[in-house]
Structure 1
Amino acid sequence: MSAQPSPERDPLAHTVRGVDHAAYPTFDPRATITFYRDVLGFPVVHATCALGWGPGDHPDFIHFFFDIGNGDRLAFFYYFGVEPYRDTAIPELLHRARHLAIHVDSEEHLLEYRRRLDASDWPCELQVRHETVESIYVTDPNGYLMEITRPLRAITPEDDIDANVSVEALMAVAGEEDPTLEKFFARKAALIAERYAGEAELVTFA
């Protein structure tokens, strides 16, 4: 058995902070949100809306996150216009969606992991900045996608508000015959307008 590196010799000793999130696809976001948010009581804390990410034929999607305690999150992808088990893109989407994300605190730690990967038989496949995080991705020897991620900024109460408006819009649009990201954005804008109008009335007549 090989010796374990000592903290003095290993620049990454104890820098990994556990699970940031585990992610899966969903083809029924209304039931998924109802189950995790309303039945189990896991609050929605973040949502990323992706228009035109990935290769040219990659479907638009929304990526939403539930708080499951201790700073850990459970995330789901919903792909607009993708029919479960009847779409040729399903196998690749399932592979890319199902992954474990490991949390690190700094850019220095993230880049050191990238250096190690790029010097190995499993080089980094993608490095990208999302709305609140920067991540690197690699496929492990078993064929599982793994993400290592660092925060770009702290999640705020405004992010929580945006996430909850986003999932309400998603639940409304996902029940329609032809859900699209454009319809999602229109519904989200309407919900924001309704909320703003209500708050404006409270200010006016207070």
Structure 2
Amino acid sequence: MSRNSPGQAKPVHRVRGVDHAAFPTFDPNATVRFYRDVLKFPIVHSICAAGWGPERHPDFIHFFFDIGNGDRLAFFYYFGWSPQGDQTAPGDAWARLPHGTPEFFKNSRHIALNVGDEEDLLEYRRRLDESQWPVEMQVMHETIESIYTHDPNGYMLEITRQLRPVAPQEDLDAQLTIAALCDVTAGEAPSMDKLLTRKAELIVERAAAWEAEQPGWREAQRELI
């Protein structure tokens, strides 16, 4: 998208499109197989959140698929939490949410809109704060800064700006994280600790193959010592 020339006023409408749409998943293995393996959307980012949020908030993984044109599709997997026990029909789970379902789970289904810079983000904060729907949170994430509110229908809306480009190494880290997530959720009592342990094992298992694909890497490391 072209930027405004120096001195030219920015338009009233500053959103550049969808950054990501997000949903909870009850079955990360099936989710990864469907979006990555069947539809061929690569995994491009993940966040491991342990001890995050208000009291009794479960540990979770937030992972993203690249669906083209700079847009992403994201999912949350919450360790040890399910809205209604057996999730043999996850497609129906949202309609069966019991009374008292935590807000964090309801808010996991949201849309994030992208803006170009801090000025645009703060302009939307000003507009919201002067309305009936003021900003509820402003959060600095790993690679983005976001503001959040709920629209008149009760849906969470996120407006976000990128803080820095995502490095290829971070995409590789995300792929290892989701491989570990699929492994541990295929077993009993998955947890963040089990995921991190399995991820470390995958790093060791794949290190030799990675080094073989990087000519001169070992020699370069010795020169740094």
| TM-score over 0.5 for the pair | yes
Cα distance between partner residues in 1 of 2:123 and 2:210: 47
With over 3 angstroms needed to count, the CA separation of the structure-2 counterparts of 1:12 and 1:185, relative to structure 1, is farther
SS of residue matched to 2:65 = strand
CA distance in structure 2 between the partners assigned to 1:26 and 1:12 by the alignment: 37
Give yes or no for contact 1:114–1:124 (8 Å, CA) kept in 2: yes
Aligned CA-pair RMSD: 2.2
Deviates more, 1:17-26 or 1:110-119: 110-119
Q: Which residue of 2 aligns with 1:59?
A: 58
* Aligned-partner residue type, residue 30 of structure 2: A
The structure 1 segments of at least 4 consecutive aligned residues displaced by more than 3 Å after TM superposition are 86-91, 197-204
CA contact (8 A) 1:37 1:43 kept: yes
Aligned pair count reads 197
**Aligned to 1:161, which of 162, 172, 192?**
172
Query: 3-state SS of the aligned residue for 2:120?
Result: helix
* One of 117, 124, 129 as aligned partner of 2:135: 124
Aligned to 1:175: 186
Q: Which runs of 5+ in 2 are unaligned?
A: 1-8, 86-96, 219-225
Q: C-alpha deviations, 1:31-50, integer Å up to 9, x for none? A: 00000000111110110111
Equivalent position SS for 1:30: helix
Unaligned runs of 5+ in 1: 1-9
Report what 1:26 is aligned to: 25
Relative to the length of structure 1, the TM-score reads 0.88
AA of the residue aligned to 1:59: P
2:12 aligned with 1:13, yes or no?
Answer: yes
Q: Counterpart of 1:62 in structure 2: which amino acid?
A: I
Task: Please tell me the residue identity of whatever aligns with 1:96.
Answer: N
Residue among 195, 199, 211 paired with 1:188: 199
Is the CA contact 1:27–1:84 (under 8 Å) kept in the aligned structure 2?
no
What letter matches 1:121 in structure 2?
Answer: Q
Instruction: Please state if 1:40 is matched with 2:39.
Output: yes
Q: Percent identity, aligned pairs only?
A: 59
Give TM-score, length-normalised by structure 2: 0.81
Tell me: CA distance 1:157–1:183, structure 2 relative to 1, closer, same or farther (3 Å). same
Could you tell me which residue of structure 2 aligns to residue 4 of structure 1? none
Pair 1:80-2:70 in alignment: no
